Amino acid sequence: MTQLFETILSNPWLLALSLIVGFVVLVKGADWLVIGASATAKRFGINDLVIGLTVVAFGTSMPEFVVNMVSVSDGVTDLAITNILGSNIINTFVILGCTALVYPVVSQKRSRDFDVPMSAFAGVLVLAFILIPLPHETSRGIGLVGGIVLLVFFSIFMYLTMRHAKDHPDEQTTEEYHVMATWKAIALIVVGLIGLVVGGELIVKSAVRIATDLGVSDAIIGLTIVALGTSLPELATSVAAAFRHNSDIAIGNVVGSNIFNVFFVLGTSACIRPLPTYEGIEVDALMATLGSVIVWLLIKFSHKRDIKRWGGALLLVVYAVYLTFRLMNC
């Protein structure tokens, strides 16, 4: 297997192909895992609301989670942090920006009152870990203590989300999950897990090699290629919903994904291996936080509590300025 990877990585065309294949396999693996796990949960009598808030919510963060697990296992910590910061930045600025350009994005009360502020708080927490070393931590970054703190907040977030969902079932728009044959559900889970592992390996190894060949840092590749690849499913889903004038789901999906990425994925990663800082991390963490603040302000000062087309354009312009700055200073 190692020899096969070396052969692929030594050829530029095969290298690019392996990265694309990695993203496809990773995303399809996550889809199959969610379908199989949802069907299994349904067979055991778990209601659709709980399935949506647990199985599906975790499943949509699986691409970022697996890429991070492979990255920390290989010691590529810069890629692990930037995969999350980059995904959150793209989720907020690019996905919501593109969605709002197609059709104004309406916010639900829960999203603007709880989810968006929680997403901003998650960014502030990461920024604090980066700027202020915690007791017993040898350097700036997110270590074991920071990882545990993030997972504690993730538990609090999940508890509050589940409690709110049960108290306000009328606000939920969960899909209908159907039971399938047990053998088929298990097969989908197994194949999905294999796809996640293989796709994650291909992405991380290809990304590291591309960074080496181009003479740029793993952080830049993580912020751009890897982050965009793991966010493509959310981009396609949100824009497609906007064309159907159902863009109200976009903010909930994007912000929920951002919260999962920081509290769950980054928290788990830091518990496995300390995540030290890299050059430019302060700008990236600040940008991830700023995204949630801008979204909140756009909603707060809108009469209809939505992100209008000019707001979507603003988000895309801000992202373009940020990306240009990072690429010029890498």
CATH of the domain at 316: 1.20.1420.30
pLDDT at position 41, please? 81
Summarised one tens digit per residue, pLDDT across range 71-97 is 998 888 888 999 999 999 999 999 999
Instruction: Give 288's Cβ-side CA count (13 Å radius).
Output: 32
Mean pLDDT of 302-311: 88
pTM across the whole model: 0.86
Both tokens assigned to 194: 């294999």
Q: How confident is the model at residue 171 (pLDDT cuts 50, 70, 90)?
A: low
Share of the chain above pLDDT 90, in %: 32
Residue pair 36/192 in contact (Cβ under 8 Å)? The answer is: yes
Comparison of pLDDT for 93 and 57, the residue scoring more: 93
Q: Alpha-carbon distance 162 to 157, whole Å?
A: 9
127 CB-contact burial (10 Å; exposed 0-12 / middle 13-18 / buried 19+)? middle
pLDDT at position 285, please? 94
Q: At what angle do helices 12-43 and 2-9 cross, to 10 degrees?
A: 130
Average pLDDT, the chain: 84
Q: Alpha-carbon distance 126 to 138, whole Å?
A: 17
Q: How confident is the model at residue 176 (pLDDT cuts 50, 70, 90)?
A: low
Comparison of pLDDT for 7 and 63, the residue scoring more: 63
Identify the three-state secondary structure at position 103: coil
Both tokens assigned to 83: 């995969």
Q: Alpha-carbon distance 182 to 43, whole Å?
A: 8
Mean pLDDT of 139-157: 90
Q: Alpha-carbon distance 200 to 63, whole Å?
A: 8
Domain that holds residue 240: 2-328
- Total domains in the chain come to 1
